[in-house]
Amino acid sequence: MIKRILESAQRLESENTRFLMDMIRIPAFSTKEKDVVLCIKNEMENAGFDEVRIDGLGNVIGRIGSGPRVLAFDAHIDTVYPGDLSLWDRDPFDAHIKDGKVWGRGSVDQEGGMAAMVTAGRIIKELGLGKDFTLYFTGTVMEEDCDGLCWQYLIKEEGIKPELVVITEPTNMNIYRGHRGRMEMQVHVKGLSCHGSAPERGDNAIYKISRIALEIEKLHERLITDPFLGKGSVCVTEVYFTGPSQCAVPDSARIHLDRRLTWGETKDSAVAEVQETCRLAGYPEAEIEVLTYSETAYTGLVYPTEKYFPTWVTPEDSTWVQTAAAAYQELFEKAPLIDKWTFSTNGVAIAGMHHIPCIGLGPGNEIYAHAPNEACPIGHLTGAAAFYAALVYKLT
């Protein structure tokens, strides 16, 4: 059966590649995914999925089978913007094949995973795999803006609670089993405005926030390290201020913090560290805010969530990781590298918040995520499709 799965994936390689290029040609930024969702819905229907629908947040959900066990494959289908176009060799939405790769924005992060998932669905249908399962294939929205929000909706509003979710974010065709969590905070300070010709009359909020920012730099060096996930991190990524004019001392300022949480770090511990940092800078009265995401989905729905996304790890000796490794070994005739993502995925909600086990394998190398000249090897698309189908077979 493993041999038949691989043969089917190779036979469907051109369809797999064509579908990925179809998606790349449709810009699909966060909150603007409608057209690519409709493209995916059409592809799933043509592939013979038993049910295809779009939920209230705009996620596209394909279903195969109606067995008692529930398994899900997930790909977020929104992409980041292309950035400076002069850094691209070609139009980022001009999907094309060169050097055995599909090029274009979203090829790696992460419409390649979506294409491989649907191809796996075709194989599962053709070979009659997974009869014990209800299999969901989710093309999820708004992940680039707010990772995990889509799965908070799927779990809490749609009632989808699988025994395992396979995340198809890029892993360079390795098996991943976790990553650091993250949160977004802002630090606010107040000042006193006055005319810029006599700054001593006022209280410059930019000076205050700058001293705090320098203490944040020192805080980063003190953060703990986990043997598997690595070190926690904190970084000042944006600076804001207010004031009456360019000739006035600013009366308020704030900084935005990107905080990555390793194992053992929590929202409360991270906030306490920043509070202590403000005290060390001389401003214990500074306000620390954990942000909320409340943007409007393309469906018109607003589904707010706090921007705290917990750390998660699936144990290496778990049934899920070991079964995935066995499927990989049989399929590719070599042992997999079992590792972790550097960045964050929808696993923060699935595993971090709702404790549903996750593993990951996806086409493409994560170093090309959000980068110009993004490209995914065609061989990865074929291999990933085969792996997803093989995993269903091995779990059965």
Cβ-in-10-Å burial (0-12, 13-18, 19+) of 381 comes to buried
Q: What is the mean pLDDT of the chain?
A: 98
Task: Retrieve residue 299's tokens.
Answer: 């469906």
Closest CA to 351 of 297, 384, 309: 309
User: Which entry of 55, 74, 111, 143 is annotated as an active-site residue?
Assistant: 143
Closest CA to 364 of 33, 23, 111, 95: 111
pLDDT of 316 above 90: yes
Interval 313-323 mean pLDDT: 98
Q: Tell me the β-bridge partners of 165.
A: 72, 358
Does CATH place domain 182-293 in 3.40.50.11740?
no
Between the alpha carbon of residue 89 and those of residues 36, 282, 372, the distances in Å are 24, 49, 8
Interval 93-104 mean pLDDT: 98
Interval 56-65 mean pLDDT: 98
143 is catalytic: yes
Interval 353-382 mean pLDDT: 97
What is the Cβ-side half-sphere exposure of residue 179, based on CA atoms within 13 angstroms? 24
What is the model's pTM?
0.94
Closest CA to 143 of 358, 293, 320: 293
Closest CA to 76 of 108, 44, 124: 108
- Residues of the chain with pLDDT > 90, as a percent, come to 99
Task: Retrieve residue 218's tokens.
Answer: 């020192």
Interval 348-364 mean pLDDT: 98
Contact call for residues 164 and 135 (beta carbons, < 8 A): no
pLDDT of 64 above 90: yes
Task: Retrieve residue 73's tokens.
Answer: 């494959």
Cα 114 to Cα 143: distance, rounded to the nearest angstrom: 14
Cβ-in-10-Å burial (0-12, 13-18, 19+) of 311 comes to buried
**Which residue ranges make up each domain of the chain?**
2-179+311-395, 182-293
Does CATH place domain 2-179+311-395 in 3.40.50.1010?
no
Q: What is the pLDDT of residue 247?
A: 96
- Residues of the chain with pLDDT > 70, as a percent, come to 100
Q: What is the pLDDT of residue 276?
A: 98
Return the biggest CA–CA distance within the chain: 81
Cα 14 to Cα 364: distance, rounded to the nearest angstrom: 17
Interval 223-232 mean pLDDT: 98
Q: What is the pLDDT of residue 110?
A: 96
Q: Nearest 5°: CA angle at 297, between 291 and 303? A: 50
Q: What is the tens place of the pLDDT at every residue in 151-180? A: 999 999 999 999 999 999 999 999 999 999
Q: What is the tens place of the pLDDT at every residue in 112-127? A: 999 999 999 999 999 9
What is the Cβ-side half-sphere exposure of residue 111, based on CA atoms within 13 angstroms? 34
Contact call for residues 234 and 259 (beta carbons, < 8 A): yes
Quick one: how far is CA 324 from the chain centroid? 21
User: Which entry of 78, 109, 273, 374 is annotated as an active-site residue?
Assistant: 78
Domains 2-179+311-395 and 182-293 share a fold: no
pLDDT of 210 above 90: yes
Q: Are strands 164-167 and 69-76 parallel, antiparallel or unpaired?
A: parallel
Closest CA to 311 of 220, 229, 237, 223: 229
Strand, coil or helix: 51: strand
Q: Which residue has the tokens 């409608």?
A: 34
Q: For 24, which DSSP code?
A: H
pLDDT of 21 above 90: yes
Quick one: how far is CA 31 from the chain centroid? 15
Report the 10 Å Cβ neighbour count for 11.
Answer: 13
78 is catalytic: yes
Q: What is the pLDDT of residue 57?
A: 98
Task: Retrieve residue 67's tokens.
Answer: 């067995």
pLDDT of 130 above 90: no
Q: How confident is the model at residue 239 (pLDDT cuts 50, 70, 90)?
A: very high
Report the 10 Å Cβ neighbour count for 101.
Answer: 22
